[in-house]
Amino acid sequence: MQDSVALADATAKRPRGRPRKTIDERDDGNRRQALLAAAARLFRQKGFAATTTRDIAAAAGMQSGSPFYHFKSKQVLLFAVMEEGMRAALARQRATMQASAHADLAPKTQLRKLVEAHFEVLLGPGNDFVPVMLYEWRSLQPRQRKSLALLVAEYEGLWVPVLTALHASHHLRAPVALARLLILGALNWSVQWFDPKKSASVQDLSDAAMALFLPP
Amino acid sequence: MQDSVALADATAKRPRGRPRKTIDERDDGNRRQALLAAAARLFRQKGFAATTTRDIAAAAGMQSGSPFYHFKSKQVLLFAVMEEGMRAALARQRATMQASAHADLAPKTQLRKLVEAHFEVLLGPGNDFVPVMLYEWRSLQPRQRKSLALLVAEYEGLWVPVLTALHASHHLRAPVALARLLILGALNWSVQWFDPKKSASVQDLSDAAMALFLPP
DNA sequence: CCTACCGATCGGTAGG
DNA sequence: CCTACCGATCGGTAGG
């Protein structure tokens, strides 16, 4: 019975039949993650409706029916992509803010950190998850939208204290609520035109954004 | 071309496409325009791929096969929607700039006019054509994309002299090319969150944008 | 512009 | 996770 440790060939062991909740987490997560990554890339490139589950399966090296072993529907897969993107973005931005607080950075510098991290989340290599969320919001079902909106509100909430401080010190003249929407819009739009093969780097973009939004 | 200033009604004169068809232009343009408007609304609301030609036909009060009497394919209909949107936007913005030049307005005021007109084009009632272009660019065929890119470049070109002047006078600190992308991004993103039923008006948005981008 | 229709594709499932 | 398959839908067309 010591063969419960038999992990030499992890691919050999595969829970037959019942899709219970207690599946080999390591292996299943592997394939599931491959599907998520493939879906994110394709959803971003062609859009949700124009991407077939067959496309996604093929990109993950599976047969056409297999994605449905991991996700109940295409719709659920879309949601999973977005949720994964938002959780990662949120974790990253929280870490950024904590570091800022520890270093006691000025609000201006804090904003710079937020902007930089935001650009990274949007434009970094393989970061297709958040862009999918930005451009497929309308493809969600109302219930999914409501659920994700909580994460989005949390993410945007991280910007508010910084913007409020900058507004109080007259560095930011627009009302905070509209400033937040306009600033995030300026950044989010970059996924439409940013080309990593061309010159501008995330640093350049952050410089330009800061110069645009804040006086010297 | 000076009479094209009367652009509020872009539906009037229509020298489009193949001049071989000698159908009653007025009536044909009528139905064709109904299809364009319905398609614009649905493409914006649900996306190109998720909208069926049957949806569009029904919204225009037609039977399922009838759109193909006016447009060779769904793809061509998409292009027609975007082209119509860009031509109207371009005409409007050109008129704005001519008025600015006549009144000898300061660059700052000129930018304000551009921003205002841009918001109107995006957020005005029934203005679904340009938003479709902004969010369905990836649904175009390469050839269509190339053709529309000319109009887009022309539109964005109108902003350059104004931004360059503001940069020269140190009112705009970011490099002009990036500033243009970031500013238009901030404005374009408004189609995602703007709600005409809520408080902020196009005037409020324009005020906030100007306050954000330019020092007092 | 309508009626009637077709071929292809797609999301999803049964059963192993 | 694969094989084999189904029902529904969709873009588009022929002919009037």
Looking at chain A, the number of H-run helices and the number of E-run strands are: 11, 0
pLDDT tens string B8-17: 333 333 333 3
Considering only CB atoms, A205 lies closest to which of B178, B188, B209, namely B178
pLDDT at A22: 38
DSSP string of B120-140?
Answer: HHHHSTT--HHHHHHH-GGGS
**How close B188 comes to chain A (CA, Å)?**
7
Q: Which of A20-24, A34-38, A199-203 has the largest mean confidence?
A: A34-38
pLDDT tens string B30-56: 999 999 999 999 999 999 999 999 999
Chain-chain contact of A47 with B45 (C-beta, under 8 angstroms) = no
Q: For strand C, which nucleotides have at least one atom less than 7 Å from a protein CB?
A: 1-5, 9-16
What are chain A's domains? 9-71 (1.10.10.60), 75-216 (1.10.357.10)
Neighbours of B25 (CB within 10 A): 13
The alpha helices in A104-141, defined as continuous H runs, are 107-123, 129-135
SS3 for A174? coil
Residue B28 pLDDT grade (very low, low, confident, very high; cuts 50, 70, 90): low
Residue A73 CB lies within 7 Å of the nucleic strand C? yes
Chain-chain contact of A200 with B192 (C-beta, under 8 angstroms) = no
pLDDT at A28: 62
The percentage of residues in chain B with a pLDDT greater than 90, rounded to a whole number, is: 84
Residue A64 CB lies within 7 Å of the nucleic strand D? yes
B31 by Cβ neighbours in 10 Å (0-12 / 13-18 / 19+) ranks as middle
Q: Which residues of B touch A193 (CB under 8 A)?
A: 181
Q: Which nucleotide is nearest to A71 (CA to C1')?
A: C12
Q: Which residues of B touch A115 (CB under 8 A)?
A: none
pLDDT at B216: 77
Mean pLDDT across chain B: 89
Residue A49 pLDDT grade (very low, low, confident, very high; cuts 50, 70, 90): very high
Q: Given a cut of 60, is residue A25 above it in pLDDT?
A: no
**pTM for this one?**
0.88
Residue A75 CB lies within 7 Å of the nucleic strand C? yes
Between the CA of A183 and the C1' of C6, what is the distance in angstroms? 51
Contact A35, A48 (CB under 8 A): no
Residue B167 CB lies within 7 Å of the nucleic strand C? no
pLDDT tens string B199-213: 799 999 999 999 999
Chain-chain contact of B189 with A179 (C-beta, under 8 angstroms) = no
Average pLDDT over residues B184-210: 96
Average pLDDT over residues A95-113: 96
